[in-house]
Structure 1
Amino acid sequence: MKLPLADLIAFQRDQLGFFESRGNGASDPLVPLSMGAGPVYLVSDADLVKPILRAPEDTIDKGQLIYKLREIIGESSMVLSGEEHRTRRAAIHGQLAKGVSSSFVPEITAVIRQHAAMLAREGTFDAHQATAPLAVRIVSTILFGHGVLSAADETALITALHLAEDDLAAEIFKIIPDFPWVKARKKAKLSAAKNTMGFVVEKARSDAKRHSLISALDELDLSEKAMHEEILLLLLSGHHTSGSAAAWILYFLARHPDLARQIADEARQVSTPDGDVDASRLSRATTTMAFVKEVLRLYPSAYWLSRETKKPIEMGGRQLKAGTSLLISPWQMQRNPRYWPDPETFDINRIHSGAAYMPFGVGPRVCVGMSLALLELQLIALEIAASFEVELVSSEPAPPPKPVITIIPPPLQMRLHPRGAVTKRELHRAA
């Protein structure tokens, strides 16, 4: 007989392995989990994901597991539902869509080049410690304008986030409450982190430039508190998702030098004679985009998400009562041999679509920054491969990532070496 908390104990021991062991090979589309009070199921059938994530909010919506994130991000669009969620999302999406198609490319490439040059001068560096600040710098440029968030601001923001994220991740599936003194310590740490993040956000907002993303949020006439929480969400999500993925981009550029050379050649094809990426040609960089999508298949930043039934429903051959938690793991779905031949192998020739590919989620709550994230990661791959050869100093293969709110890459020691003495401008002249 299975113990009431057996799956919770296994989950806390190895979250990523837990999802794979329970989901891969499962014949039941909804796998029952013993994780404490209330019914919990792991969705193992990819064909159920869209119906769940596209269900009306009065049938299936965000549940208590997601709402625990309010401790950091407050009542931002991540936890909102209904018309308020749709209004905020539409404003952010519209502004991002305009920038992705035109103005963001030169802004992002300028940030990447400056950061890459700094890393090359440093010598050996840790990939994620290098790419997390890069991601914050890019998203702050989009939010506020170039140069508004200083290096000290970025460091303070990232440090404050790290102060709180481990404890917050542990709280999501906690059954036994902390001792009062432990709870007080965590509360004080979270309060200090939020105060630091709030100070940085307010400072950046006051210095924001016209026509930045902040102008779209200003038009929503949000309260000061709501505006603060929405900005904080965008900064933090940009830091985690793109920062983690960018670290893996460096890792696979180092492990696949022939592929890195193909991407470098593609960078030449989509650039002007001066070596600047031409936004109108980016659709031709198909190898680079396939490379990025395969990185996101193996290492989706969000390794699980949840929904909760609001009324009794029938799904997956089961009658589910109100309050049932449904867990969906992109990590497990995208490494499931049922959907991906030889799933642990890095292979850019896969078809990165279909029900089992969901690095940004699915449906009306798909990540609002998906297009920006793909653009950012594509440009990072193009710019780094064009100018540098990436050396992996750490041993291979990489150890598993660390799952917290998202999955954090392990220590990956890298070096950047200039790609010969030939510049991109000289390559154009030679062509």
Structure 2
Amino acid sequence: MKHLFSDVSAFRRDPLALFEERSSPEAAPLVQLNLGPSPVYLVTDAPLAKTVLRADEATIDKGRLVHKLRTVIGTSSITLSGAEHQRRRAIIHQHLARGIMNDFVPQITGLIRRQASLLICERSFDAHEVTAPLALRMIVALLFGHGALTECDESALMEAVHVAEEEMADSLFRILPRTPWRSFLKRRELRRSRAIMGAVVDRVRGRAKSGTLVQALQALDLSPDDMRDEILLLLLAGHHTTGNAAAWLLYYLATEPGVTERLAAEAEAITDYVGEIDPLRLPKAETSLRVAREVLRLYPPFYWFSREIRTPQEIAGLKLKPGTSLIISPWQLQRDARYWCDPAAFRLDRAYNTPAFMPFGLGPRACVGIGLGLLELQLLALELSASCSVEILSNVPADKPTPQITLLPPHIELRLRPRVPMRRQHVA
């Protein structure tokens, strides 16, 4: 029997299955989910989801579900709205756009090559155990400069993030409150994790080099706490966005016949005479871009977004009152047979100019690191394929990811082997 909390158990058990179940081809554009006393609707129609994500924040904005993230990332641009959100976003966007065209490519490829040289010596490795710290090193290098994060800082930050993410996922749509003692222990654990993350951020910030994103953020004249929160957000978002997707990218390099050969040929075509990828040729590297987009279609790092109605309005024939939450699931929309042919398959012949493709969100509150995330995945595909073969040692197909705040990949055991490089001998 349906009641105010009748979908909570299913959501906590397997939100991916719940979203898929409620979004059949016959489903209404808005499907009510019984997740508590406040109304919640799943947006199953892609054009409507696009409209919601691009709505003026005076009518539809971030709401209480997004604000729960403040327990970990505080008052940062992901939890802010209005002029302050736009001010911070503009600085970050400007720096990332400039770096993608000029400075980031050699920094990222250098980190990938060093990681690959170590992995070739290993008998096997778990994909996510490698890609998560690699993604963290990438974002740290772009934020603070190369070498700012020590191995000790890296381990502490990864563990603290894991604790915080588990707590955020567990707190969403909890039916029964914890016992006072259990609640006390969890709050203390979360405070400790946040303190560890903050201490690491402070240390790394002190090592920042000139010309980095942290230097650009100084222009915002933020308080020490707000600066820490903004840096922490960039670390967490950059780490998870690329780290999770990169594990799946390696999986498909190992399991899709012919893909690494195509990528190796593409890497050769855009490499200059000293063996470095030319950033100006990357936008025309169609195969690697398609590989990155297809991975993000199948496994979007953030599998649902939340928006909240701020003014009374009618959407899809329903009259919605302020406080109503709208959930949009890229996982559901990007695997919906109404918008994709053979949606569960990895294919490089797809068109992505569709409202059903939104791994980073859409509109004025989309992830500011869209370009950077695609660049990192593109370079990982090109660099590894140019120098290595990737072998799968675990189950095919792989198990489903674990939904927390992001989609955590399952165990994917791989092996790298060097191969004869395809790159031509260039003449200066």
TM-score of Structure 1 vs Structure 2, range by shorter chain? over 0.9
Deviation of 1:250 (Å): 0.2
Name the stretch that deviates more: 154-163 or 224-233. 154-163
Q: How does 1:204-219 map to 2 (within 5 A)?
A: 204-219=204-219
Q: How does 1:170-181 map to 2 (within 5 A)?
A: 170-181=170-181
Which residue of 2 is the match for residue 239 of structure 1? Answer: 239
Rounded Cα–Cα distance in structure 2 between residues aligned with 1:26 and 1:134: 42
Work out whether 1:301 is the aligned partner of 2:301.
yes
Work out whether 1:167 is the aligned partner of 2:163.
no
Amino acid aligned to 2:268: R
Question: Aligned-residue CA RMSD in angstroms?
Answer: 1.2
What is the CA deviation profile of residues 270-299 of structure 1, one whole-angstrom value per residue up to 9, with x for unaligned ones? Answer: 111222111111122101101110010000
Amino acid aligned to 2:390: V
The answer to whether the 8 A contact 1:75-1:226 is kept is yes
Amino acid aligned to 1:36: G
Q: How does 1:30-179 map to 2 (within 5 A)?
A: 30-179=30-179
Work out whether 1:388 is the aligned partner of 2:385.
no
The answer to whether the 8 A contact 1:11-1:18 is kept is yes
Which residue of 2 is the match for residue 423 of structure 1? Answer: 421
Rounded Cα–Cα distance in structure 1 between residues aligned with 2:392 and 2:43: 36
Rounded Cα–Cα distance in structure 2 between residues aligned with 1:98 and 1:78: 22
The answer to whether the 8 A contact 1:267-1:382 is kept is yes
Rounded Cα–Cα distance in structure 2 between residues aligned with 1:314 and 1:123: 58
Q: How does 1:344-383 map to 2 (within 5 A)?
A: 344-383=344-383
Name the stretch that deviates more: 156-165 or 295-304. 156-165
Rounded Cα–Cα distance in structure 2 between residues aligned with 1:323 and 1:252: 41
Runs of 5+ consecutive residues of structure 2 not aligned to the other structure: none
Rounded Cα–Cα distance in structure 1 between residues aligned with 2:75 and 2:153: 24
Runs of 5+ consecutive residues of structure 1 not aligned to the other structure: none
The answer to whether the 8 A contact 1:24-1:332 is kept is no
Which residue of 2 is the match for residue 287 of structure 1? Answer: 287
What is the CA deviation profile of residues 208-230 of structure 1, one whole-angstrom value per residue up to 9, with x for unaligned ones? Answer: 00000111100110000000000
Work out whether 1:29 is the aligned partner of 2:29.
yes
Aligned residues: 427
Amino acid aligned to 2:209: K
Rounded Cα–Cα distance in structure 1 between residues aligned with 2:293 and 2:327: 23
Rounded Cα–Cα distance in structure 1 between residues aligned with 2:56 and 2:65: 19
Residue 347 of structure 2 aligns to a residue in which SS? coil
The answer to whether the 8 A contact 2:245-2:300 is kept is yes
Rounded Cα–Cα distance in structure 1 between residues aligned with 2:400 and 2:248: 12
Rounded Cα–Cα distance in structure 1 between residues aligned with 2:73 and 2:24: 33
Residue 287 of structure 1 aligns to a residue in which SS? helix
Which residue of 1 is the match for residue 403 of structure 2? Answer: 403
Residue 220 of structure 2 aligns to a residue in which SS? coil
Deviation of 1:424 (Å): 5.0
Rounded Cα–Cα distance in structure 1 between residues aligned with 2:422 and 2:274: 8
Rounded Cα–Cα distance in structure 1 between residues aligned with 2:50 and 2:131: 32
Deviation of 1:428 (Å): 3.3
Which residue of 2 is the match for residue 191 of structure 1? Answer: 191
Which residue of 1 is the match for residue 264 of structure 2? Answer: 264
The answer to whether the 8 A contact 1:24-1:337 is kept is no
Rounded Cα–Cα distance in structure 1 between residues aligned with 2:409 and 2:425: 36
- Percent identical pairs in the alignment equals 51
Rounded Cα–Cα distance in structure 2 between residues aligned with 1:233 and 1:85: 13
The answer to whether the 8 A contact 2:31-2:42 is kept is yes
Rounded Cα–Cα distance in structure 2 between residues aligned with 1:400 and 1:71: 28
The answer to whether the 8 A contact 2:335-2:344 is kept is yes
The answer to whether the 8 A contact 2:127-2:413 is kept is yes
Amino acid aligned to 2:421: T
Deviation of 1:50 (Å): 2.1
The answer to whether the 8 A contact 1:32-1:41 is kept is yes
Rounded Cα–Cα distance in structure 2 between residues aligned with 1:17 and 1:74: 30
The answer to whether the 8 A contact 2:264-2:422 is kept is no
Residue 38 of structure 2 aligns to a residue in which SS? coil
What is the CA deviation profile of residues 74-95 of structure 1, one whole-angstrom value per residue up to 9, with x for unaligned ones? Answer: 0000000010000000000000
Rounded Cα–Cα distance in structure 2 between residues aligned with 1:239 and 1:158: 9
Deviation of 1:3 (Å): 2.9
Amino acid aligned to 1:366: A
Work out whether 1:311 is the aligned partner of 2:311.
yes
Deviation of 1:181 (Å): 1.1
Deviation of 1:137 (Å): 0.2
Rounded Cα–Cα distance in structure 2 between residues aligned with 1:99 and 1:429: 27
What is the CA deviation profile of residues 122-165 of structure 1, one whole-angstrom value per residue up to 9, with x for unaligned ones? Answer: 22110001000000000000000011112221111111111221
Rounded Cα–Cα distance in structure 2 between residues aligned with 1:26 and 1:43: 13
Name the stretch that deviates more: 135-144 or 147-156. 147-156
Deviation of 1:257 (Å): 3.6
Rounded Cα–Cα distance in structure 2 between residues aligned with 1:423 and 1:260: 12
The answer to whether the 8 A contact 1:268-1:428 is kept is no
Q: How does 1:318-357 map to 2 (within 5 A)?
A: 318-357=318-357
Amino acid aligned to 2:321: K
What is the CA deviation profile of residues 220-255 of structure 1, one whole-angstrom value per residue up to 9, with x for unaligned ones? Answer: 100000000000000011111100010001000000
Residue 248 of structure 2 aligns to a residue in which SS? helix
The answer to whether the 8 A contact 1:119-1:416 is kept is yes
